[in-house]
Amino acid sequence: MGKIIGIVSGKGGVGKTTTTVNIGVALQKLGKKACVFDANITTSNLGLHLGITDYPVTSHELLKGRRAPSDSVFVHHSGMRVIPGSLSLENAKAVNIMNLKQLLGALAKKYDFVLVDGAPGIDRETLSVVEASDEIIVVTNPDMPAVTDAIKIIEVAKNNKAKIRGVVVNKRRNRDYELSAQEIETAAGVPIIGAVPEDENILRAISEKSPVVISRERAPSARAFKRIAADIAGVPTEGADIISMLKRMFFGIPQKPDIEKLTDITD
């Protein structure tokens, strides 16, 4: 049985989707079967981070209880499975978020890790992700407003008896006006599991529609995401593992077919 990890935040725009796709691809590169799922129902954009505009099934359709016409799920060229949200606001209506837990449970039977890209805030949409996940990662930026909102979602998660894996501090500039790791840990009461620098490569990667861990794998942000993924996968950080380094050099990322049957997922 795979693990369902919800990626949530109190404040919007802190980097949940960026974190989801990069950790997803990094896990896949580590030889794990990863699936990313867009549970940001009203403002879905996970597919756009990956350049996917035409896909066989959306999270909206699955949450409405409909199977995809082609009965298939998108496989990114990295091998990571992707269930993006629909870009149409119309589709956000009639979605039954209560189906999320069952749906993710079914996906976890197929994949080692199901990463769930959540909506910001502490309303029903986010709560459903918290409730449906085995553990959650809270993304924040190192400033007071973002951390204050992160503390709220952590409180809500604790009240729901959710397991909190920790906090990812994203867009860190290492400036004295930022909250330090120690200050954030003390305020949040949960460990920091990664600090990702503010990095222009992320913006380039998004415009190129390819996660930074693929398009600029040596970038500081890419390294940080890979470290977090290695920790989640329970494997040594890249570089320490000479065999996988040689495999990557000689064989690259394995190519996979671009769709996969959804059998058993929505039943």
Ligand X SMILES: Nc1ncnc2c1ncn2[C@@H]1O[C@H](COP(=O)(O)OP(=O)(O)OP(=O)(O)O)[C@@H](O)[C@H]1O
Interaction site with ligand X (CB under 6 A): 9, 12-18, 40, 43, 120, 170-171, 196, 198-199, 202-203, 206, 221
Is 171 a binding residue for Mg ion by CB under 5 A? The answer is no
* Of 17 and 72, CB closest to ligand X: 17
Q: Which does 190 bind (CB under 5 to 8 A by kind): ligand X, Mg ion, none?
A: none
Q: Which does 14 bind (CB under 5 to 8 A by kind): Mg ion, ligand X, none?
A: ligand X
Q: Is 215 helix (H, G, I), strand (E, B) or coil?
A: helix
Shortest distance, position 64 Cβ to ligand X, whole Å:
21
Of 13-21, 180-188, 217-225, 251-259, the segment contacting Mg ion by CB under 5 A is 13-21
**Full DSSP string of 18-43:** HHHHHHHHHHHHTT--EEEEE---TT
Site track 17-46 with Mg ion (rule: CB under 5 A), x = hit: x-----------------------------
Distance from C-alpha of 105 to C-alpha of 126, rounded to nearest angstrom: 17
- Which one, 36 or 230, has the nearer CB to Mg ion? 36
CA distance 238 to 132: 30
Is 16 among the residues that bind Mg ion (CB under 5 A)? yes
**Starting at the edge strand that comes first in sequence, how are the strands of the sheet with 259-261 ordered?**
192-197, 164-172, 135-140, 3-9, 113-120, 34-38, 81-83, 72-75, 259-261
Candidates 24, 157, 38, 159; CA nearest to 79 is 24
Q: Which of ligand X, Mg ion, none is residue 57 near (CB under 5 to 8 Å by kind)?
A: none
Q: Which residues contribute to the site for Mg ion (CB under 5 A)? A: 16-17
